[in-house]
A and B are shown apart, each in its own frame.
Chain A
């Protein structure tokens, strides 16, 4: 009987460790999901107030965080973060992305003149 009990006692801390790991990972992923959600919202806001470059950078970071969160633990928060970050990046990208010799070059030419 004693021999039977020993393995159970040995297993208990392992189960707890695993649970703690899952909880920790869940918290990390939840943190990433929340961060991506916030970054996505800020990215959209920055687009509307005219700071598309900052919005684009925040949107990109939001996308990377959301993808990481979704791959490890696909929650609705991570999905929302991903969608908002994509929208923010796309909106800022529309304003910011320009082909070579486009908008930036005019400003550059003006600054050099």
Chain B
């Protein structure tokens, strides 16, 4: 749709530009709004997000490489293919796990309570993800299956999605769902303050959304195991994890 934009005469990939904007916005909301509800300094929230972003980049890339091992083994020039893989391709779930690990490392390194950091950052994840999906729409990736109903989108000069074919708007649907999840987490935040229930709720809501949306995806180049994609298998695990956290009885902060 709009894979590149020109800023000061430089051609910049829209996806990357939008995701960076999303991270900046998410960081600001976490630092200035959600940190107020937890026993944590604004500096620590900011630094832990930096660690988290580093974890996201490494985790997303690692899972991407793992899902593409068969392709890598098939190629004649493995080193060249590996370099190609390193220069593009991310998996959201890999990024999520990597990001949490990054924040965990920060909390251990500087002896700051992991719980207060994670509870400050988790509510903004769906917001950043929603903004990222707008980037997907611009780049034309993560497209849906062929669909002729309401809201179908047709790409005319996309380098990823099939052109001139009406497609299911998976990017827009996931963006709206993520915004709704962000709204739900923000509204219920004060109710679940100081407990991991916010994390549980996010895991439950997002895993359900992602599991269903995967059936409408048209980009079937990702790993498929026993009829379900890698992301769907992770969705099932995340759903179970989320339910356990959500129903578990837990004490809030003392003050």
Contacts and interface: CB of A to CB of B under 8 A. Distances in A.
Contacts of B221: 101, 105
A100 B141 contact: yes
Contact of A101 (B19, B75, B106, B160): B160
A100 B133 CA distance: 12
A107 B57 contact: no
Contact of A63 (B54, B110, B141): B54
B20 A90 contact: yes
Label chain A's interface by main secondary structure: helix
Interface stretch (A5-13, A22-30, A91-99): A91-99
Interface string B74-112: 110100110011111111000000000000001001100
B16 A95 contact: yes
Interface centre among A71, A97, A106 (most CB of B within 10 A): A97
B201 to A, nearest CB: 26
B64 interface: yes
Label chain B's interface by main secondary structure: helix
B156 interface: no
Contact of A100 (B12, B81, B142): B142
A53 interface: yes
Interface string B146-184: 000000000000011000000000000000000000000
A102 interface: yes
A15 interface: no
A103 B222 contact: no
A100 B50 contact: no
B139 interface: yes
B89 A100 contact: yes
Contacts of B136: 99
A61 B64 CA distance: 21
A64 interface: yes
Contacts of A63: 50, 54
A85 B53 CA distance: 13
A104 B85 contact: yes
A101 B89 contact: yes
B216 to A, nearest CB: 15
A89 B50 CA distance: 10
A98 B57 contact: no
A41 interface: no
Contacts of A101: 89, 141-142, 160, 219, 221-222
Contacts of A107: 84, 87-88
A98 B90 contact: yes
B57 A93 contact: yes
Contacts of A96: 16, 87-88
A60 interface: yes
Interface in A46-85: 53, 56, 60, 63-64, 67-68, 70-71
Interface of B: 12-13, 15-17, 19-20, 47, 50-51, 53-54, 57, 64, 68, 71, 74-75, 77, 80-81, 84-91, 106, 109-110, 132, 135-136, 139, 141-142, 159-160, 219, 221-222
13 contacts: A67-B50, A93-B57, A94-B16, A95-B12, A97-B16, A98-B16, A98-B90, A100-B142, A101-B141, A103-B87, A108-B68, A108-B85, A112-B75
Top 4 closest pairs, chain A to chain B, by CB: A104-B88, A94-B16, A103-B88, A107-B84
